[in-house]
Amino acid sequence: MTVPLRVPLSDAQHEVWLAAQFGDQANAAYNWTWLLRVRGVLGRDVVVAAVQALVDRHQALRTGIAAGGEYQVVHPRVAVEVPVVELASPVGLATVVAAAENRPFDLASAPLAAFQLVAVAPDEHVLVVTAHHVIADGFSLGVIFDDLAALLRGDEPADAGSFADHLRWRRSAERAHEIADAERYWADRFADGFPRLRLPTDLPPTLPAGGRLQLPVPRDTLAAARALGNRHGATLFTTLLAAFAAFLTRLTGQDDLVVGVSTAGRRFPQDAHLVAHCVNLLPVRLGPTRGTFEQWLTEVRDTVFDAQDNDQVPLARLLRHLGQVNTPSDPALPVSFNVETTRAPDLGPFDAELSTPGSSRGAPRALSVAFAVQGDGADLDVIYRADLLREGTVRAWMTAILTLLHAAVTDPSLPVADLPLLSEIDSRNTTVDYPSAGVHELFARQAADNPDAVAVVSNQDELTYRDLDRRSSRLANHLVERGVRAESVVGVHLGRSADLVIAFLAVLKAGAAYLPLDLAYPPERLSRLVADSGVDLVIAATDPPLPGVTWVPVDTPGTAELSVPLRSPDQLAYITYTSGSTGHPKGVMVPHRAVVRLLEPMSYAPIHPTDRVLVSSAIPFDVLTLELWGTLLRGATAVLSPDAPTVESLGRLLRDQRVTSAWFIASLFHQIVDTDPQLLTPLRQVLAGGEAVAARQVAAVVNALPGLRVVNGYGPTECTTFATTWTAPNDFTGAEPVPIGGPIDNTTVYVLDPALRPLPAGIPGEIYIGGPGVARGYRSRAALTADKFLPDPFAGNGTRMYRTGDKARRRPDGLIEFLGRVDDQVKVRGYRIEPGEVSATLAAHPDVRQAVTVVHEDRLVSYVVVDREPEDLRAHAARTLPEHMVPSTVVVLPELPVTSTGKVDRAALPVPQWRSGGVAPRTDTERLLAGLWERTLGHSGIGVDDNLFSLGAHSLHILRVISQIAAETRVEVPLRVVFESPTIRAQSAYVDNESAQAKKARPSILDELDAMGIQR
């Protein structure tokens, strides 16, 4: 060949070229770098000559991509440079390699490979080889080093083959027939839909950044995997894929998986010595994972064989054929798998070692998993999106993969569902000593030690510990006289007042349990609670609307005082009702030991005798336990807020009453912070919870009030207020979600899979809570109690744990992140969606204070409360969420409806008003672009806000339309603009803006005449 040769790009090459257009970082992300370390005295001129001969042999190494990506040019000869770098110390090698990895290639200029010879010692050299993925794949690198080794030995390498002929074959008529057959196979494989893999990521997406981790695979595990595969007619590749797919099922909770599996794309013997981009990624569909691992391996083997027999369709074309949107923000295959087998090249008398740097400039997918095999050893090599996943999470996943693999190949008769992910259980000891006394008995100690201290402040009234002790003892005596005994349940129908505190304490002193009855409850609900709990005596200010129930006032005649000793720490202290999924409330029975465990020693939010603690929770809400008894058992002062306070009145109350500690439900906490964080100035600590606490508001408080302790508390009613807490660090910025933290003292918290097995960090599961804080169960609901309160298999002492129904995962640092309810998943248009993820994305907008997402008529609807009318929030969501997770509409409300306990009342959200039809083009530019897109896509009536990717647009369409726009308007629209703004409205705005800027910069004809001095 004596003249340059033009050759079309393959579809796979074009996809790489397109992705590399998004800047230098994106370009460098497709650099492949390998290191050949040679020990022995090496002639440098011999190396330079061998590299030049290598480039002369392989057309791909003399190829550049024409501007616009329309074709590639194979040059007859390209002179290659091999700079020699002398290192004073071997540690400098990392700097040289990093520079090579991060240096973007000019894709229009050959060669798209670079070579450096690094002298780390007189008798030790490292040849650093970097090639761009657009002209070479992993297999090619093996060819490159085999040929280099032969050339350095003075031998003639095998015939290199023709890169151009290979590409022509890919576009031949014979190839077209094979592709058509393969497309029919894939269409049948995905006839019932394309199940997208949803990885549980740690962080919201930002600018893609790459991370890379490598872990050694134990040699005995690798040998056992080979042997198992041999027994079942499966390759090592298939055996490792089967284990990885089993892990993915556990990771995602999906039993129908599509994994991107690499195939060499080399069908003929001559391809074995070809340097080219031949690799293809196949969407291999696997699942469900039933039966033993042996059975699963056989199924995976057959699936992979079928897929490889139909590997002729390039991935981009296949996804278009299947009607799948594939964009950087919504990749069809976010996870890929490969096994890369390498060997050290034979350099004769020299000792040679081949390796990769172990670093990553970028990550084309969320997770790219490979087993790098050399001889009888291997590394698990993972490249990941560091903007989505923490390093610790990925490391935990890798450890879990190796744990599962080892168990699977050691005993393949195990069911796939029983393969372990953890080699040992995290059993942190949170046990500390706490009193076995009753709540009222611990109060009595405070009353004896500090009788004149103020116990309760309600409006302008104050009650000392002595007064509270005596009045409650008199009422307790009266209750016993009325027949109240241990385990009796006494209703308390009072507002937030000193009388309420007296009544609660009196019931406990009588040996009974109290049932809070909210004054706002309708008579029907009150009757249901009283009947379910067995109450026949109610303490009230007036006769409550409860026929057949005896009521007594707080102030009773007589002076006799009584306090019944606690019979057992498991004696009932109170019952509180929560909503049930069947519509019938559930009575949670909380014993004294559970309350005492919450408050002793209370290291997560210490209360001192000098503290004044706000009591503001709804009376039936279990946080009242923390507010009231956490204060009185510490000798502090309980400051009772009036019912239904406003943010402003709360601020005044905190200031006027010198409150030092307060708990707020998350929605109220957010409202206070959004109004003015300085309202919290009197406090030394603030606790929030009850629902997800937003990072933005926590960061705002930490920034505005550096000395304020901010605590997020989590726990279901069934586990007595708090099970875990997290204290915001002083440098919290809000960049990451607020975790629910770690277990409080005397509490165990597990994140388990459906088979009750502990899960590693980063893998979502259900929260189970054990320890003395667990309630006794549900009143008169034995079956439901047995279903939710299970024997704790890890405690070994016969105790129970509570199944919360909450989904969470452990972070690498051991803290727990709340992810929503396990039953919160919804399915819209075939996609599984967590509404909480959509809401969190909207809440991240600076103008959005609250957000909640539900499903109406099979469409996602988000409701938001805003500070001011924001930009198009759907567009904001579309910037980080895949299209199917962008809400169909966003409804702005003045406030979100809430239940009596302050949680969002989803049933009360208004029905949205749907917009029918798309918005027609209105401007000349919009009409022009609409016509171009309609002709290109074969659609009519495209609206200016329609997502073009949803209508089938792909990269080739985009390039065609961009070219047509430039011809019509002289404005070149970057690829990035189309990918980030896939609507006619946004693209038209860009064109109009660029046209206006160009017009300003271009002088008019009259101005030019003036400049030339021509009279007019």
DSSP track, 35-50: EEEEES---HHHHHHH
809 close to 819: Cβ distance less than 8 angstroms: yes
The pLDDT value recorded for residue 241 is: 97
Nearest to 596 by CA among 616, 568, 563: 568
Question: Which stretch of 138-142, 270-274, 361-365, 702-706 has the lowest confidence by average pLDDT?
Answer: 361-365
Per-residue burial over 433-470, b if 16 or more Cβ lie within 10 Å, else e, is ebbebbbbbbbbebbeebeebbbbbbeeeebbbebbbb
The pLDDT value recorded for residue 173 is: 61
611 close to 631: Cβ distance less than 8 angstroms: yes
State how far the Cα of 563 lies from the Cα of 486, in Å rounded to an integer. Answer: 12
Which helix H or strand E contains 465, and what residues bound it? helix 465-481
What's the mean pLDDT in 161-166?
79
The pLDDT value recorded for residue 557 is: 77
Query: Whose structure tokens read 């040992």?
Result: 424
State how far the Cα of 578 lies from the Cα of 718, in Å rounded to an integer. Answer: 9
- Maximum separation of any 2 CA atoms in the chain, in Å: 117
Looking at the DSSP bridge assignments, the partners of residue 457 are 462, 639
The pLDDT value recorded for residue 188 is: 94
Please, which pLDDT band fits residue 1008 given cuts at 50, 70 and 90?
very low
Contacts of 392 (CB under 8 A, 6+ apart): 761, 762, 811, 812, 813
**Cα angle value 410/413/414 (rounded, 5°):** 85
Q: Pick left, alpha or beta for residue 508 (phi over 0 → left; psi -120 to 50 → alpha; otherwise beta).
A: alpha
Query: Whose structure tokens read 């704790």?
Result: 792
Positive or negative torsion for Cα 464, 466, 471, 475? positive
Rg of the Cα atoms in the chain: 35
State how far the Cα of 586 lies from the Cα of 579, in Å rounded to an integer. Answer: 6
Q: What is the DSSP string of 647-668?
A: HHHHHHHHHHTT--EEEEEHHH
What's the mean pLDDT in 15-27?
85
What's the mean per-residue pLDDT of the chain?
88
SS3 11: helix
982 close to 947: Cβ distance less than 8 angstroms: yes
**Cα angle value 22/28/32 (rounded, 5°):** 140
Residue 168 above 80 pLDDT? no
What's the mean pLDDT in 979-984?
85
Please, which pLDDT band fits residue 560 given cuts at 50, 70 and 90?
confident
Question: Which stretch of 330-344, 676-690, 740-754 has the lowest confidence by average pLDDT?
Answer: 330-344
Nearest to 490 by CA among 453, 435, 529: 529
β 5-7/848-856 pair status: unpaired
Q: What are the backbone dihedrals phi and psi of residue 84, each rounded to the nearest 5 degrees, phi first?
A: -105, 130
State how far the Cα of 712 lies from the Cα of 738, in Å rounded to an integer. Answer: 8
Q: Which residue has the higher pLDDT, 872 or 496?
A: 496
Please, which pLDDT band fits residue 583 given cuts at 50, 70 and 90?
very low
Please, which pLDDT band fits residue 166 given cuts at 50, 70 and 90?
confident
Question: Which stretch of 29-43, 342-356, 561-575, 912-926 has the lowest confidence by average pLDDT?
Answer: 912-926
The pLDDT value recorded for residue 553 is: 94
Contacts of 637 (CB under 8 A, 6+ apart): 453, 454, 455, 456, 457, 611, 612, 613, 631
What's the mean pLDDT in 256-284?
87
The pLDDT value recorded for residue 343 is: 79
Q: pLDDT, tens digit, for every residue of 401-410?
A: 999 999 999 9
DSSP collapsed to 3 states, 281-339: EEEEEECCCCCEHHHHHHHHHHHHHHHHHCCCCCHHHHHHHCCCCCECCECCCCEEEEE
Contacts of 187 (CB under 8 A, 6+ apart): 321, 322
Q: Which residue has the higher pLDDT, 926 or 42?
A: 926
What's the mean pLDDT in 199-218?
86
State how far the Cα of 455 lies from the Cα of 886, in Å rounded to an integer. Answer: 52
Residue 494 above 50 pLDDT? yes
State how far the Cα of 937 lies from the Cα of 505, in Å rounded to an integer. Answer: 74
What's the mean pLDDT in 456-461?
90
* Residues of the chain above pLDDT 70, percent: 93
Q: What are the backbone dihedrals phi and psi of residue 445, each rounded to the nearest 5 degrees, phi first?
A: -65, -40
Q: Which residue has the higher pLDDT, 233 or 459?
A: 233
The pLDDT value recorded for residue 1010 is: 43
The pLDDT value recorded for residue 581 is: 46
Which long-range contacts does 959-967 make (Cβ < 8 Å, 24+ apart)? 959/68, 959/69, 960/936, 961/929, 961/932, 961/933, 961/936, 964/932, 964/936, 965/928, 965/929, 965/932, 965/991
Q: Is the peptide bond before 111 cis (omega within 30 degrees of 0)?
A: yes
SS3 635: coil
Burial of 758 (0-12, 13-18, 19+ CB in 10 A): buried
Residue 793 above 70 pLDDT? yes
The pLDDT value recorded for residue 362 is: 66
Please, which pLDDT band fits residue 65 given cuts at 50, 70 and 90?
very high
Please, which pLDDT band fits residue 1007 given cuts at 50, 70 and 90?
very low
Residue 632 above 60 pLDDT? yes
State how far the Cα of 104 lies from the Cα of 120, in Å rounded to an integer. Answer: 25
Looking at the DSSP bridge assignments, the partners of residue 513 are 489
State how far the Cα of 149 lies from the Cα of 310, in Å rounded to an integer. Answer: 34
Residue 252 above 50 pLDDT? yes
Distances (CA, A) of 271 to 6, 56, 277, 306, 428: 20, 18, 11, 21, 56
Residue 831 above 60 pLDDT? no
The pLDDT value recorded for residue 677 is: 96
Residue 584 above 80 pLDDT? no
Residue 771 above 90 pLDDT? yes
221 close to 349: Cβ distance less than 8 angstroms: no
Whole-structure pTM value: 0.79
The pLDDT value recorded for residue 1003 is: 53
Q: pLDDT, tens digit, for every residue of 884-932?
A: 678 877 889 999 998 766 778 888 899 876 443 468 899 999 999 999 9
The pLDDT value recorded for residue 426 is: 65
Nearest to 873 by CA among 898, 903, 853: 853
Nearest to 728 by CA among 789, 685, 790, 774: 685
Side-chain-side CA neighbours of 881 within 13 Å: the count stands at 25
Tokens representing 63 are 């190829």
Looking at the DSSP bridge assignments, the partners of residue 714 are 724
Q: Which residue has the higher pLDDT, 440 or 999?
A: 440
The pLDDT value recorded for residue 701 is: 97
Please, which pLDDT band fits residue 516 given cuts at 50, 70 and 90?
very high
Nearest to 519 by CA among 494, 491, 542: 494
Residue type, 711: V
State how far the Cα of 613 lies from the Cα of 635, in Å rounded to an integer. Answer: 11
Side-chain-side CA neighbours of 553 within 13 Å: the count stands at 5
Please, which pLDDT band fits residue 869 given cuts at 50, 70 and 90?
confident
Tokens representing 114 are 């670079």
State how far the Cα of 876 lies from the Cα of 330, in Å rounded to an integer. Answer: 15
The pLDDT value recorded for residue 355 is: 84
Residue type, 449: D
Nearest to 688 by CA among 671, 707, 706, 675: 671
Q: Give the range with max mean pLDDT: 275-284, 872-881, 1005-1014.
A: 275-284
State how far the Cα of 442 lies from the Cα of 565, in Å rounded to an integer. Answer: 11
Question: Which stretch of 221-230, 318-327, 596-605, 763-772 has the lowest confidence by average pLDDT?
Answer: 318-327
397 close to 250: Cβ distance less than 8 angstroms: no
Q: What are the backbone dihedrals phi and psi of residue 519, each rounded to the nearest 5 degrees, phi first?
A: -60, -25
